[in-house]
Amino acid sequence: MKYFLTGATGFLGGVLARQLREAHHEVIAVIRNPQKAEKLKSLGVTVVKGDVTDKESMREAMRGCDGVFHVAGWYKVGVRDKSHGRKINVDGTRHVLELMKELHIPKGVYTSTLAINSDTHGAVHDETFHFSGKHISEYDRTKAEAHDVALQFIQEGLPLVIAMPGLIYGPDGTSLSDEAWRLYLKKKLPMVGGGSGYCWGHVEDIAHAHLLAMEKAAPGSTYIICGPKHTFDEAFDMAKKITGIRKPVQIPPAMMKSSAFLVSLIEWLIPVPEMYAAETMRVSAGVTYYGDNNKARRDLGYNPRPLEEGLRETLEYERRKMKK
């Protein structure tokens, strides 16, 4: 099959591109800067210069494809300039789906996120839940808006499947949580926000779930493809068992929220590192991003690995990399 892929130079998109090639599919990847795509080219991926914010730059690359994987997204927390969030997550998604419709692409998979439901306050939601409150980050908000765009296209008949991962981790991860693990391994992470919980999906499993969605899911369906549910404290218990490194001190959620408020008063005047920005503190202040993946397990045969298994592989890889 011939697949069009966005976000191929990103963490998830790069793994998905490799898995597609390993399955002997042809992959057309639209990249903003093809000079940064040497790894993709070595896999046999056809690289085309383009950008999701420029609809026409993708048209010819998508034409004639059997399917579309729209993985590209703006995933930033704690940055001062949030203007790219809407351009990439919302407008970019609309551009990709409009082209799918205009070019009569047989099927597509769109990467949404559990973050559209923001803080679930300990509840575990399935695909039928629709959050109507205030989102705690610009990422959450713009991805929720993009999710609604995708649903509208589905209602209009677009043969699209929505995939909703949770926290994605793994070797060479690029998120703030991945950076936190590297600081932990360097013994430079003395404290973290306590009480927060996530559904931890290894990047290999999340990428494979996208393939399963393309191959097995009915058009118009939505699947939560998250991993197992654990608090950060539980994850650090596992990490201590794996590495022998002491856990960071857990800061109570109330203190994190107070700190976030204080930082919000000064961060527009004084540059604050992303790790300590008010928005970062808010999403670490005892929040939970939980989802129920039973539908994906039942319908798609999705079977994510346990966190301790994936975390061991990830931390051991990062340790080896640090020693080089």
The phi-psi region of residue 200 (left if phi > 0; otherwise alpha if psi is between -120 and 50; otherwise beta) is beta
pLDDT band, very low/low/confident/very high, at 319 (cuts 50, 70, 90)? very high
Residue type, 9: T
Percentage of the chain exceeding pLDDT 90: 82
- Residue 2 is encoded by which pair of tokens? 């011939």
pLDDT band, very low/low/confident/very high, at 208 (cuts 50, 70, 90)? very high
* Domain regions of the chain by residue span: 2-171+200-227+291-305
Query: 232-251: per-residue pLDDT in tens?
Result: 999 999 999 999 999 999 99
Query: 283-316: per-residue pLDDT in tens?
Result: 888 999 999 999 999 999 999 999 999 999 999 9
Percentage of the chain exceeding pLDDT 70: 100
C-alpha–C-alpha distance, residues 220 and 217, integer Å? 9
- Kindly state the average pLDDT of the residues 13-26: 99
Residue 196 DSSP symbol:
-
In the 3-class helix/strand/coil scheme, how is 210-239 assigned residue by residue?
A: HHHHHHHCCCCCEEECCCCEEEHHHHHHHH
C-alpha–C-alpha distance, residues 235 and 233, integer Å? 5
Please say if the pLDDT value at position 324 is more than 80: no
Please say if the pLDDT value at position 206 is more than 90: yes
Residue 204 is predicted with a pLDDT of 99
DSSP β-bridge partners for residue 249: 191
Query: 119-153: per-residue pLDDT in tens?
Result: 999 999 999 999 999 999 999 999 999 999 999 99
C-alpha–C-alpha distance, residues 52 and 222, integer Å? 22
Average pLDDT, the chain: 95
pLDDT band, very low/low/confident/very high, at 266 (cuts 50, 70, 90)? confident
C-alpha–C-alpha distance, residues 161 and 112, integer Å? 10
- Residue 61 is encoded by which pair of tokens? 């690359």
Query: 80-134: per-residue pLDDT in tens?
Result: 888 889 999 999 999 999 999 999 999 999 999 999 999 999 999 999 999 999 9
CATH class of 2-171+200-227+291-305: alpha beta
Q: Which of 204, 216, 217 is nearest to 303 (CA)?
A: 204
Please say if the pLDDT value at position 26 is more than 90: yes
What b/e sequence results for 126-162 when a residue is b if at least 16 CB atoms lie within 10 Å of its CB, and e otherwise? ebeeebeeebbbbbbbbbbbbbebbbebbeeebbbbb
Residue 200 is predicted with a pLDDT of 98
Residue 83 is predicted with a pLDDT of 86
